[in-house]
Amino acid sequence: MKHRTICILSGGVDSTTLLHQLVAGGDEVLAMSFDYGQRHRKEIRYAARSSRKLGVEHMVVDLAGINALLAGSALTSREMEVPEGSYEDEAMRTTVVPNRNMIMMSLAGAYAVSRKYDRIAIAVHAADHAVYPDCRARFIEQFDIALKLGNYEQVSVYVPFLDWTKARIVRLGLRLGIDYEADTWSCYQGGEEPCGKCGTCLERAEALEEARNE
């Protein structure tokens, strides 16, 4: 069965792989990115690039006006430093943006209802679970229920990578022909070049090495 799917697209490894998977599977896809005042908003440029390459409509939702409501995260508050080190480190909790996935998924769900898409897709995966509560299976399951209860239309949440490792996601992406160096951005710092020290830089490098060395 083919679907009309809204793909929440950050421009990083996971969501870009999801976008390619959806297109390869024959879905009619709309890519939706969010500018919430994140310091690494350059990721949106990479999301736009992937969308163009695949011939997918790309929408950027401007949430910069509510940046003050999302304070307390190193990704949205400039006075906080982005922590260095792996995702296992306690310090990585400072990269949690309050209610981010709830906000993005709610808006994507609302647009899906209004435009008659039948599902929204988000690329949360197993490595996200330890740090980000809104990437865990229970949250996704409960949101899916709430989305259906809150609307007459039965829009579902598609999370194919929920129990996948990042290396497994990368292996899929390589099979789909993704050039991760050219077409994705991960670094939380958002500088000219990736810092190579933050959790997402380290996780990305490890996944790419593991996938390519198999």
Residue pLDDT, tens place only, 191-214: 889 999 888 899 899 999 999 886
Give the separation between CA 92 and CA 87, rounded to whole angstroms: 6
Give the separation between CA 34 and CA 194, rounded to whole angstroms: 20
- pLDDT of res. 212: 84
137-141 long-range contacts (CB < 8 A, ≥24 apart) are 137/162, 137/163, 139/101
Is the pLDDT at 11 greater than 60? The verdict is: yes
- pLDDT of res. 30: 98
- pLDDT of res. 68: 72
Express as a percent the part of the chain with pLDDT over 90: 64
Is the pLDDT at 159 greater than 90? The verdict is: yes
Q: What's the sign of the alpha-carbon dihedral 94, 180, 164, 140?
A: positive
Considering only CA atoms, give the Rg of the chain.
Answer: 16
152 secondary structure, DSSP code: S
Express as a percent the part of the chain with pLDDT over 70: 84
Give the separation between CA 45 and CA 62, rounded to whole angstroms: 14
- pLDDT of res. 180: 96
- pLDDT of res. 153: 94
- pLDDT of res. 188: 84
Is the pLDDT at 134 greater than 80? The verdict is: yes
Domain architecture of the chain: domains with CATH: 4-212 (3.40.50.620)
- Residue that has been written with the tokens 């421009």 in this structure: 11
pLDDT digits (tens, 9 = 90+) for 45-92: 999 999 999 999 999 999 888 777 666 555 554 555 655 556 555 556
pTM: 0.91
Q: What is the band of 37 on the pLDDT scale with cuts at 50, 70, 90?
A: confident
- pLDDT of res. 78: 59
- pLDDT of res. 96: 61
- What totals of helices (H) and strands (E) does the chain contain, helices first? 7, 5
